Amino acid sequence: MVLVPHADVASPSAPARTPSLLARLGAVVGPRAHDLADRLLDLESWIARDLVEVEGELGRLIRGDSLVEKSAHHLLDLGGKHVRPLCVALASRAGGGFGAAARQLAVAVEMVHSATLLHDDVVDLGETRRGSPTARLVYGNAASIFAGDWLLVEALRRIRAAGVSGLLDEMLAVIEEMILAESVQLENRGRINTALTDYFRVVEGKTAALFRWAMLAGGRAGGLPLDSCRALERYGHHLGIAFQAVDDLLDVHGDAAVTGKALFTDLREGKMTYPLIVALERDPALLPVLAECARLPPERPLPAPAIDRVLAALVATDALADCRALARRHAGEAARAIAPLPDGGGKAALVMVAEMTAGREK
């Protein structure tokens, strides 16, 4: 469950990605392109190494035997892509390196993310997460709510202990943004005619804000100057949007066996995603079909004709292609945002992560 394969780096499953990556990296790391293929391999193994380190740190979290701690670990042990901690790691490498403080901050950002998932699963009555039953199904809603609270507080204590000034205040502000975005999403729930402006408000608050913090945290822990940290934050903002756009895409068009999530989960929870909003704008006759899907109780499967109708519209209106294009555009913006940073492995790896994020299939 990691963003890149650990061992089989030149895996045949992603051959189409490499030329484009090489091209983009070429633009970033400068004209010395003769050793670019080697360099790419170096970068991928480097990212993999940082992920292993982050995962080791997450695995060493204290495990009490209380119901609340067990619920929290149930989710953490299911893994995940760990792209937020990876952001902290790579941003710190764009500066002085991935040291002890950055490692604490990387763990903290994953804990905050996990806290929101635990609360979201209670709110959405979620049953499956990362291909397994949600913590609320295993340990109950109550334990999930308190486990979210616990992870949040533990994360804040870690950020405090990391001792990098300003980061705790920024995280508190980010969590507030996240909650207010949840509120907007809640108010729009079941409203099929969601405006794209509301969609972007939710994505910026719920997803992009935490990516932004991850980049800031890594930059600050790596000792980078203010303007570089601001550039990293812009990267995080755009990467977050790209990440969410692909999540949206996978919800309507992914392979459930790979993503661990059933198709159309967002729609069934009454959440209109980017491809659905775009498809509806271009094919208004889709409205009653979407409304029917959103209204159906969770235990009833979606009718095959409705699925076929929505999928056909997503293709015919180019909504799927446009969603991937949105992700690529923001990944490009992310890469451009850090162009002023000094060249080096950290920066090159961040560009690669942006590229992989926009292209990911799981």
d(CA 2, CA 5): 7
Binding test (CB under 8 A) with its own copies, winner from 23, 37, 52, 142: 142
Binding test (CB under 8 A) with its own copies, winner from 23, 37, 100, 153: 153
Interaction of residue 166 with its own copies, rule CB under 8 A: no
Interaction of residue 154 with its own copies, rule CB under 8 A: yes
d(CA 348, CA 275): 30
CB of 186 to its own copies, least distance (A): 5
CB of 201 to its own copies, least distance (A): 11
- The DSSP output letter for 133 is E
d(CA 106, CA 153): 15
Interaction of residue 36 with its own copies, rule CB under 8 A: no
Interaction of residue 66 with its own copies, rule CB under 8 A: yes
- The DSSP output letter for 298 is T
Interaction of residue 127 with its own copies, rule CB under 8 A: no
d(CA 161, CA 97): 19
Binding test (CB under 8 A) with its own copies, winner from 90, 145, 263, 352: 145
Interaction of residue 187 with its own copies, rule CB under 8 A: yes
Closer residue to its own copies, CB minimum distance, 55 or 121: 121
Q: To which H or E segment does residue 250 belong?
A: helix 226-253
Closer residue to its own copies, CB minimum distance, 25 or 112: 112
Give the interface segment with its own copies, choosing from 52-60, 98-106, 151-159, 274-282 (CB under 8 A): 151-159
Q: Which amino acid type is present at position 114? A: S
Binding test (CB under 8 A) with its own copies, winner from 41, 96, 169, 258: 169
Q: Which amino acid type is present at position 97? A: G
Instruction: Work out the burial of residue 250: count CB atoms within 10 Å of its CB; fewer than 13 is exposed, 13-18 middle, 19 or more buried.
Output: buried
CB of 67 to its own copies, least distance (A): 5
Interaction of residue 141 with its own copies, rule CB under 8 A: yes
Which token pair is 204? 């910026």
| Cβ contacts of 268 within 8 Å, gap of 6 or more | 293, 294, 296, 298, 302
Interaction of residue 150 with its own copies, rule CB under 8 A: yes
Interaction of residue 184 with its own copies, rule CB under 8 A: yes
| Cβ contacts of 264 within 8 Å, gap of 6 or more | 251, 252, 293, 302, 307, 310
Interaction of residue 195 with its own copies, rule CB under 8 A: no
Cα 11 to Cα 15, 17, 130: the distances in Å are 7, 11, 23
Residues that bind its own copies (CB under 8 A): 64, 66-69, 119, 122-123, 140-143, 145-146, 148-150, 152-154, 156-157, 160, 168-169, 172-173, 175-176, 179-180, 182-184, 186-187
